[in-house]
Amino acid sequence: MAEELLINVNAFETRVALVVHGLLQEVQVARATGASVTGNIYLGKVVRIVPGMQAAFVDVGLARPGFLHARDIEGPRIITPDQAGSEKKKHDIRDLIHDGQSILVQVEKDPIASKGARLSTQIAFASKYLVWMPNEAHIGISQRIDDEVERERLRTTLDSIKQAQSLRGGVIVRTAGERASAEHLAQDLKLLSRLWERIRGRIDGARAPSLIYEELPLHTRMVRDLVGADTQHILVDHADTFERISSYVEEVIPGYSDRLQRYAEDRPLFERHGVEDEIARALEAKVALKSGGSLVIEQTEAMISIDVNTGGFLGGHSLEETVYRTNLEAAAAIPRQLRLRNLGGIIVIDFIDMEDEEHQRQVWRTLEKATEADPARTRMEGFSSLGLVQMSRKRTRESLAQSMCVPCNQCQGTGKVRSSESTSIEVLRALSQDYKARCRKKSVDGDYLIRATESVVDRLLDEDAAHLAELSSNIEREIRIQVEPSYVEGQFDIVLIHPVAR
């Protein structure tokens, strides 16, 4: 599988794209402001414990306190001396930590929308092939490595390396570690253990809240996580970044040095590979399929919904075949779209109804196989009684749309605004009610002024002109209308204009 990693860097943002067989599979963006903090380690301070949620809020120096659940508190988590002999697990969070306590935590999920960062005391940091967990002791193997002989080789090799280096801590072999030599595994483990020693040194004398360890910058982290045997080129269009990545590659994965190239053509890197157009399409709700069908992907606070439509595809010999072929194509395309858009959480897919159970099984197998290429942890359930497929995908950072877009200032992110007809009727109703209320108080003195958007004013002067005239006659008051260019659709004001004293 031919892969290319494209790294575009300038003064205001860094973008990294993974292209496989000419198709964009993943893109990550880090702006000069608001960069990801996932993986960072902080010395935090407990500012509030919520027993009802079995959770605590911890100040780590970010805009909002992070969220720490009791189940994410493990091992020698408390760094204050008086806690050194505490039990590993207790049932109530108040037995684990207390207000004002200093605690070493790692960010598992970035702050998203109004939610603070998700924190854990289960410290872990990664290299190319391994994940080091200083508070654990076991050796784990990625579930994606399914060869039992290879799993046993890796477990035995790592056990020997740990004993040779006199290391205490847990380690997990990442998927990239499959077939890795003992020499490479030993080198990775040595790098990780040295990093942990440096982190421990920074804790001494630190005051909460403070940053103890910062995860690698986006470009280097993506090289670490995505570069593998199938990677043909790593293209970097920024001179200083190229030098930094070169140093990292030579130290950590020297076998890939010849694949790293400095991109210096006049045509922008992302434009040259069609990435700009792909990013623009990934921000749209509708995804066109080659057959003429389409996907409609909508992201909400609660879940991601995906609707499959046949659209203009009429290529089958029967309706069932047309539906089946459209669903097959959709099943192959959906995992790529989820990864590209970085959509996570609960996902519900509404495939077109199929009567043939074998067709359902084939669509399910296609979806399952396409999901195997996604490095994010996913879980899937088969077709429900309603014909829906439910799945979940681990979410650690904002989606592509959340990182690049803001809610519309007119619809506030709902995707809808009130029609001019609805607003016009509301204006007439509000004006009538205001007049009646003033009559009861005997405080009606003057004429009315309506301020609204141009579309509503046009509606009041055209289709609803008769209603407006009738209302003006009934209340025996002049009603003036004024366009307010700064108003958003659905917004209006009704003002009582008092007569000028003479």
pLDDT digits (tens, 9 = 90+) for 145-155: 889 999 999 99
pLDDT at 312: 67
Q: Which residues contact 455 (CB under 8 A, 6 or more apart)?
A: 420, 489
Q: Does the structure show a pLDDT above 70 at 249?
A: yes
Exposure of 69 in the CB half-sphere (CA atoms within 13 A): 7
Which has more pLDDT, 35 or 116? Answer: 116
Structural domain containing residue 492: 420-497
Angle between helices 357-371 and 319-341 (to 10 degrees): 20
Verify that 235 and 202 share a domain, yes or no.
no
Where do we find the tokens 């099943």?
A: 331
Q: Is residue 415 part of a domain?
A: no
Q: Does the structure show a pLDDT above 50 at 307?
A: yes
Q: Is residue 257 part of a domain?
A: yes
- How much is the average pLDDT of 351-355? 91
Q: Does the structure show a pLDDT above 70 at 40?
A: yes
- How much is the average pLDDT of 107-125? 89
pLDDT in tens, 367-422: 999 998 888 889 999 899 888 999 999 887 888 998 888 888 888 777 888 999 99
Is the alpha carbon torsion for 348, 352, 355, 356 positive or negative?
negative
Verify that 107 and 232 share a domain, yes or no.
no
Rg (CA), the chain: 30
| Strand order across the beta sheet in which 378-383 lies | 286-288, 294-299, 304-309, 345-350, 388-393, 378-383
pLDDT class for 313, splitting at 50, 70, 90? low
Q: Which of 171, 197, 213 is the last residue of a domain?
A: 213
pLDDT class for 300, splitting at 50, 70, 90? confident
pLDDT in tens, 203-234: 988 898 999 999 999 999 999 988 888 899 99
Q: Is residue 229 part of a domain?
A: yes
pLDDT class for 336, splitting at 50, 70, 90? very high
Averaged pLDDT of the chain: 88
Q: Does the structure show a pLDDT above 80 at 238?
A: yes
Q: Which of 404, 428, 453 is the last residue of a domain?
A: 404
Which CATH number goes with the domain that contains 118?
A: 2.40.50.140
Q: Which of 233, 259, 276 is the last residue of a domain?
A: 276
Verify that 189 and 111 share a domain, yes or no.
yes
Verify that 293 and 362 share a domain, yes or no.
yes
Q: Which residues contact 428 (CB under 8 A, 6 or more apart)?
A: 464, 467, 468, 471
What is the number of structural domains in the chain?
A: 4
Verify that 49 and 139 share a domain, yes or no.
yes
Verify that 141 and 289 share a domain, yes or no.
no
Token pair, residue 84, equals 């050194």
Which CATH number goes with the domain that contains 478?
A: 3.40.1260.20
